[in-house]
Amino acid sequence: MNENLFTSFITPTMVGIPIVLLIIMFPSILFPSPSRLIDNRLVSIQQWLVRLTSKQMLSTHSHKGQTWALMLMSLILFIGSTNLLGLLPHSFTPTTQLSMNLGMAIPLWAGTVATGFRYKTKASLAHFLPQGTPFPLIPMLVIIETISLFIQPVALAVRLTANITAGHLLIHLIGGATLTLTSISTITAFITFTVLVLLTILEFAVALIQAYVFTLLVSLYLHDNT
Amino acid sequence: MKTKLACKNVYLLNFSRNSTDRVTDKVPVKEKKLMDVKLGELPSWILMRDFTPKGIAGAFQRGYYRYYNKYVNVKRGGVAGISMVLAAYVLFNYCRCYKELKHERLRKYH
Tell me the three state secondary structure of residue A18: strand
CB contact under 8 A, A4 and B103: yes
Sign (positive or negative) of CA dihedral A84, A89, A93, A98: positive
CB contact under 8 A, B101 and A90: yes
CB contact under 8 A, A42 and B81: yes
CB contact under 8 A, A90 and B96: yes
Residue at A118 is within a domain: yes
Sign (positive or negative) of CA dihedral A199, A201, A202, A208: positive
CB contact under 8 A, B75 and A40: yes
Count of domains in chain A? 1
Q: Note the pLDDT tens digit of each residue in A50-103.
A: 999 999 888 888 888 888 889 889 999 999 999 999 999 889 999 999 999 999
Which range of A170-179, B34-43, B97-106 scores highest in mean pLDDT? It is: A170-179
CB contact under 8 A, A29 and B72: no
> Angle CA(B74)–CA(A74)–CA(A60) in degrees, nearest 5?
115
Residue at A198 is within a domain: yes
Q: Indicate whether A160 pLDDT > 80.
A: yes
Query: Which residue type does A92 have?
Result: F
CA dihedral B37, B38, B40, B43 (to 10 degrees): 20
Q: Note the pLDDT tens digit of each residue in B15-48.
A: 767 666 667 677 777 777 777 777 787 888 788 8
Residue at A47 is within a domain: yes
Residue at A2 is within a domain: no
Which of the residue ranges A190-194, B48-52, B71-75 would you say has the lowest mean pLDDT? B48-52
Q: Which residues of B touch A4 (CB under 8 A)?
A: 100, 103-104
Q: Residue A204 belongs to what domain range?
A: 7-225
The count of C-alpha atoms lying within 13 angstroms of the C-alpha of A82, restricted to the half-sphere facing its C-beta, is 27
Q: How much of chain A is in helix, strand and coil states, percent to nearest 5?
A: 80, 0, 20
Q: Which residues of A touch B106 (CB under 8 A)?
A: 179
Please name the residues in contact with B34: beta carbons below 8 A apart, sequence gap of 6 or more: B45
Mean pLDDT value across residues A204-216? 81
**How many whole angstroms separate alpha carbon B24 and alpha carbon B35?**
10
Give the model's pLDDT for residue A49: 93
- The ipTM assigned to this model is 0.86
**How many whole angstroms separate alpha carbon A54 and alpha carbon A67?**
12
Give the model's pLDDT for residue A2: 59
Interface test with A, best of B60, B91, B100, B110 (most A CBs within 10 A): B100
Residue at A172 is within a domain: yes
Whether residue A29 lies within 8 A of chain B, CB to CB, comes out as yes
Query: Nearest by CB to B93, which of A40, A41, A91?
Result: A91
Give the model's pLDDT for residue B19: 61
> Measuring CA to CA, how many Å separate B92 from each of A17, A22, B97?
15, 12, 9
CB contact under 8 A, A32 and B97: no
Give the model's pLDDT for residue A219: 77
Query: Nearest by CB to A90, which of B74, B97, B106?
Result: B97
Q: Note the pLDDT tens digit of each residue in A96-151.
A: 999 999 999 999 999 888 888 888 888 888 877 778 778 888 888 889 989 988 99
Give the model's pLDDT for residue A188: 86
> Measuring CA to CA, how many Å separate B27 from each of B10, B16, B32, B46?
16, 16, 7, 16
CB contact under 8 A, A7 and B93: no
Comparing alpha-carbon positions, the chain B residue that sits nearest to A13 is B96
High-pLDDT (> 90) share of chain B, %: 14
Q: Indicate whether A31 pLDDT > 90.
A: yes
Q: Indicate whether A3 pLDDT > 70.
A: no
Q: Indicate whether A1 pLDDT > 60.
A: no
